Amino acid sequence: MHFHAHIDAFLNMLLAERNATANTRAAYARDLGDAAMFLARKKVDLSQASEEDIRAYILSMGKNAPRTQARRLSALRQFFRFLCSEKIRDADPTRGIDAPKLGRALPKYLSEAEVASLINTVANYPGDDGLRLRALLELVYAAGLRVSELVGLPLSGVQFDRAIVIVKGKGGKERAVPLGEPAIVALAAWLPARKAMLGERKSPYLFPSAKRFDAALTRQRFFQLLKQLALAADIDPKRLSPHVLRHAFATHLIEHGADLRSVQSMLGHADIATTQIYTHVAGDRLARTVAEHHPLAVKRVPS
């Protein structure tokens, strides 16, 4: 979605200087395109917008969630900073605009028992499709991968001799995440099925598309498979997504005593502040456990 040369130039900069993924560039294109269309109806070019124009656009998003408003304002900030750095305009019209206040949204995740239920359920799935879904589930839970990292993982990404997976995350940064035995076993079981599915054809992906061998399994298909698995495991499908499993990975590690820096490294977070939210999740749960089960916290009946 491109509206004029300045947006195109900004998107090209994201690719050249920040090594942004196609998904990241598409997200910026959508957000800037939305602003550009709103201003075009007022016969204002986005690159020439004033602070008043930007405020009017922000005001028009009144029905959108605060996070959507904040994300679009952030995209506009970066766009105008780019224009200023390129001497296309002198001032950034977003400088005086405050982002909407956001409440702290704790990540949604599943309990260990619920994850175990998913794994036990998929273990009974028949055939090659069952082996693939079990490998996907074990891998995303064992390594906390983003869904794009998971489906795009190359065959060479899993190093069985070292029991690690090499992941290329945001900005093209690579990280190595250790894998437990259940994930290694599930992946080893999937490889013969993968070979049989491909036949004489080749694919660079660990999880190739069943329809197009030169492409990876799509994120949308993995979402669908998870929803079906949730139903089979008697879990509300609305509560399950690839990102929920990533949150479960991090939360369960923290609950079992993993240090924050290690979890940050495995998740591929650039800023540890992003990882710290999991301490709140684990802390809230532990506080409830103490309140409900510790003998000193139980209200005693007077004798």
Q: Quick one: average pLDDT of 116-136? A: 95
Tell me how far apart the alpha carbons of residues 21 and 135 are, in angstroms, rounded to a whole number: 25
Tell me how far apart the alpha carbons of residues 218 and 220 are, in angstroms, rounded to a whole number: 5
For this structure, is 109 an active site residue? Answer: no
CA dihedral (23, 149, 255, 238) positive or negative? positive
**pLDDT in the model for residue 32:** 94
Residue 96 predicted with pLDDT over 80? yes
Q: Check if the beta carbon of residue 19 is closer than 8 Å to that of residue 171.
A: yes
Q: Check if the beta carbon of residue 47 is closer than 8 Å to that of residue 86.
A: no
**pLDDT in the model for residue 102:** 58
The three-state secondary structure class of 270 is coil
Name the active-site residue from 71, 175, 227, 243.
243
Question: For the chain, first and last CA: distance in Å?
Answer: 73
How far is residue 211 from each of residues 55, 72, 197, 198, measured CA to CA in Å? 47, 36, 10, 10
For this structure, is 278 an active site residue? Answer: yes
**pLDDT in the model for residue 281:** 62
For this structure, is 243 an active site residue? Answer: yes
pLDDT digits (tens, 9 = 90+) for 204-237: 999 998 877 788 999 999 999 999 999 999 999 9
Name the active-site residue from 72, 146, 247, 252.
146
Mean pLDDT of the chain: 86
pLDDT digits (tens, 9 = 90+) for 77-86: 999 999 999 9
Alpha helices (H) in the chain, listed in sequence order? 5-18, 22-40, 51-60, 66-85, 112-122, 127-143, 147-151, 181-198, 219-232, 242-255, 260-267, 272-275, 277-293
Looking at the DSSP bridge assignments, the partners of residue 177 are: 165
**pLDDT in the model for residue 127:** 92
Residue 2 predicted with pLDDT over 50? no
Q: Check if the beta carbon of residue 139 is closer than 8 Å to that of residue 145.
A: yes
Name the active-site residue from 6, 246, 247, 252.
246
**pLDDT in the model for residue 301:** 47
**pLDDT in the model for residue 103:** 54
Q: Quick one: average pLDDT of 266-273? A: 84
Residue 3 predicted with pLDDT over 70? no
Tell me how far apart the alpha carbons of residues 70 and 62 are, in angstroms, rounded to a whole number: 12
The three-state secondary structure class of 132 is helix
For this structure, is 293 an active site residue? Answer: no
pLDDT digits (tens, 9 = 90+) for 55-83: 999 889 877 777 788 899 999 999 999 99
Name the active-site residue from 170, 219, 227, 285.
170
For this structure, is 269 an active site residue? Answer: yes
